Chain A
Amino acid sequence: MSKTVLEVTDLVRHYPLPKERLFSKPRFVYALNGVSFKIEEGKSFGIVGESGCGKSTLARNVMALEPTDSGSVKILGEEVVGKSFGELRPLRQNFQMVFQDPFGSLDPHHSVGRIVAEPLAALAPLSSDEKKERVADVLKSVGLKETDIGKYPHEFSGGQRQRIAIARALITRPALIVADEPVSALDVSVQAQVLNLLRDLQDQYGVTYMFISHDLAVVEYLCDEVAVMYLGAIVEKGRTEDLFASPAHPYTRILLDAVPKPAAGMKRDRIRLSGNVTGQTEKRKGCSFQDRCPMAKEKCRNETPELKKMSPDHFAACHFSKDLMSL
C-alpha cells in the first residue's frame, strides 16, 4: 500500500490588483480557483499549461512560500497552510524545490559546498564532518565530483548548475521535490542528461516529484500522472498514457496538436487555437475555456463543467468529453 505524499485540496489563491480609484471595488487576478490532486509516494506528477495558467503559483503555494487564501496542502499528512515560518522550518526538509533558472537560483558569492549544505541548517545541528560527508555524497549522486565543493557557480555550465540545484534539494532526503520548469533553460543534449538524472534519483531514493513544465514531451517522458491546467483550474488529469492517447478535454487535444514534431514533415492537419489566455482578472459564468474552444456551445457559457470521471484514473472538466473522445 503506497502512501500519499502530497494532498492538495481546493487550493485558492487570488492576487489583489492595485485599486484604480480609492472607492472602486478591489480587483483580483484569479490565479488558482480550487485545485485538488494527490500524489502517491515514488510517483511523478506533471503539471502542464500555458503561461498564466497558475502552474508556478501552485508550486509556490505547495512549497508554502506565500500565503494561501483557502484550501489545504498536506505533505506526508502534515498540513502546511496557515503555519508560521518557525513552525514550517523543521518541516521543510520533507519538501524541497528546484527552480527554473540555474543562473539565478544559485548565489554567486557562495561556494558549491555552502550552497548545497544550506538546507541542512533546518535539521538538527550536524558536526562539520558529517555535513561534509553528506555534501560529498549528494554531489556524487548527481554526477558531480567531490573536488567541486570549493568551486563557485560561475565555473559550471547550465546543466551542471542544475545538478547543483538538484543536489541542494536532495540533501535533506526529502519525500517531495517540486521542480518548476527545471530543464527549460537547458540545451537539448544537456536536458536529456538532467531528465535521466531525475529519473535515476527517483529509482534510487524513491523521491516523489511534482514536475511543472510547458513541454508536453518532457512531461510524457518523466511523469506517471499529468494534470492540465487552464486559468487556475485543472481541466483534465489522469495517467500519462491515457491522457496523451485519448485526451478528453479540447484544450489538451489542442496543446498536443500544437507541439511541432520533427518526423511529421511539413504539413499537418490540426485544430488551431486562436487568441491568448484571457480572463485571469474576471470571475465568469461557465467554462473557463469557452472563449477559445472550437466546440463551445450555449451550455458552456452558462454551466461550469465539473471534473468528471472518464475512466478509473482519468478525469476531465468538459461538457462534451464523450464526443471528443469518440472523434
Chain B
Amino acid sequence: MSLLDVKNLNVDLLTAMGPARAVRNLEISLERGETLGIVGESGCGKSITALALMGLLPDNATTEGQILLSNEDLLKKPEKELCTIRGNRMAMIFQEPMTSLNPVHTIGRQVMEPLRLHRKLSKSAAYEEALQLLDRVGIPNPKERINNYPHQLSGGQRQRVMIALALSCSPDILIADEPTTALDVTIQDQILELIQTLVSEEGMALILISHDLGVIAENTQKVIVMYGGTVVESGSTEQIFGELTHPYTQGLFAAMPKLGMGRRERLTTIPGTVPDLINLPPGCTFTDRCPLMTSQCGGTIPPVSNLGTHHKVSCHNIEQAIKARTGGLYQ
C-alpha cells in the first residue's frame, strides 16, 4: 500500500463555453520519502492536479476517480474532515509568495495558526514552535521577524515563511506548486536546497510541480510529464532525461535554451500552441502539434507502452518516437 495512490483521476471544469477537461485519467503512486516531479506547460493540468489532491478545487469543478491517502479516499470525504487533513497530513507551498500570505496578519500569527488548530498547542507553546520553525527555514532574527508583516520581507523570505507554514505539522506529503518561479536563480537555488534538506530530514514525500526541466531534473526521483491534462510520459528521472521518448517530451527538451549550447544552432520549436482544454481531441491531446501524427492519433486514446521497469509512454507511434531520439524530431 502506497502513501498516496491516485487512480484514474478526472477533473472537469464547467465554463461558459462548455466543460474544460483539465485532468484526464491521471495515475500517481507515491511512497513515503519519495520525490515526484510534475512537469508541463501552462494549461497542462499540473496545478489543477495539486489543487485536486488538496481538495481545494474551485466550485465549478467535478471530479471522478480516487485519491487514496493511506487507503482513505479523499474525494469522498466531507469538507469538515478534509480540514483536519489539509495542512496537517498534506501541505502545500504555493507559487506566489506575494499573494498567498495574508497581508494583514503578522507572519508569526500565520505560522502559529496550523499549530494551534491541528496540534492543539497553547498560544505560548505555538509561539515557541513558530520561532523554531522560522529559524529552521533560515529566517535571520526570528524573534524580531515573527512580528513582521509579509510586506516587510523579501520574496525569498516570504517563500521561506510559506515553507515554515507548510512544515509546521510535519505533513506526510508536501506539494510545492512552482515554488521558485517568482524568484531569482540564486534565491531559487537556496529555496530548493532548503526544501530538499527538510524533505529528507523529515522523511516526507514531495510533489514538486514546475515548468522548468532543470529544476525537476535536479530535485526529484520520479517524473510525470503532462500535456493537455493527460500524462504523456512517466518514469524515474534518470530514465526520462536519459531516454526522452514521447514526441512532446523530446520537443520540450529541444525547445529549451540550454547553457553552453552556443549561438550556432537554432532552437527547435514545437509548432502551434498549447491546446484549448474545451475542444480537446478524443484521442491523443498532442495530435495537432505532433510531427509523428497519423490518422489514428486524434480519434483513439494512445496505448501505454512500458519501456523498462517504470518508464511509461502514451503514444501510438512509439517505435518511430524511439528512432527519432537521436535525429531530432522537429527539423
Contact = CB atoms under 8 A, between A and B. Distances in A.
A261 B263 CA distance: 18
Nearest to B193: A272
Nearest to A191: B255
B121 interface: no
B45 interface: no
A266 B218 contact: yes
B258 A261 contact: yes
B300 to A, nearest CB: 24
Chain B interface SS verdict (over half): helix
B269 to A, nearest CB: 4
Interface stretch (A19-27, A56-64, A216-224, A315-323): A216-224
Contact of A188 (B185, B190, B211): B211
Interface stretch (A29-37, A145-153, A250-258, A295-303): A250-258
A259 B258 CA distance: 10
B175 to A, nearest CB: 20
B262 interface: yes
A222 B217 contact: no
B268 interface: yes
B186 A188 contact: no
B261 A220 contact: yes
A274 B251 CA distance: 35
Contacts of B260: 220, 244
Contact of B217 (A190, A221, A261, A274): A261
Most central of A187, A188, A270 by chain B CB within 10 Å = A188
Interface string B148-170: 00000011110000000000000
Given A221-B257, A258-B188, A262-B213, A192 B262 contact: no
Given A220-B261, A265-B217, A265-B238, A188 B273 contact: no
B263 A222 contact: yes
B161 to A, nearest CB: 14
B184 interface: yes
Interface in B233-274: 237-238, 241, 251-253, 255-263, 266-270, 273-274
Interface string B181-200: 00011111110110000000
A256 B259 CA distance: 8
Nearest to B218: A260
B297 to A, nearest CB: 18
A160 B185 CA distance: 27
A269 B39 CA distance: 24
Contacts of B270: 189, 192
B214 interface: yes
Interface in A265-296: 265-266, 268, 270, 272-274, 276-277
A276 to B, nearest CB: 5
A123 B252 CA distance: 42
Contacts of A220: 257, 259-263
Contacts of B193: 272
20 contacts: A50-B186, A159-B273, A188-B41, A189-B41, A189-B270, A190-B274, A240-B263, A244-B259, A255-B185, A261-B258, A262-B213, A262-B217, A262-B256, A263-B217, A263-B258, A264-B217, A266-B219, A272-B189, A274-B190, A276-B154
Closest A-B pairs by Cβ, 7 of them: A260-B214, A192-B255, A187-B41, A217-B257, A50-B184, A189-B270, A262-B213
Interface of B: 41-42, 154-157, 184-190, 192-193, 211-219, 237-238, 241, 251-253, 255-263, 266-270, 273-274
Interface of A: 50-51, 157, 159-160, 187-193, 195-196, 199, 214-218, 220-222, 224, 240-241, 244, 254-256, 258-266, 268, 270, 272-274, 276-277
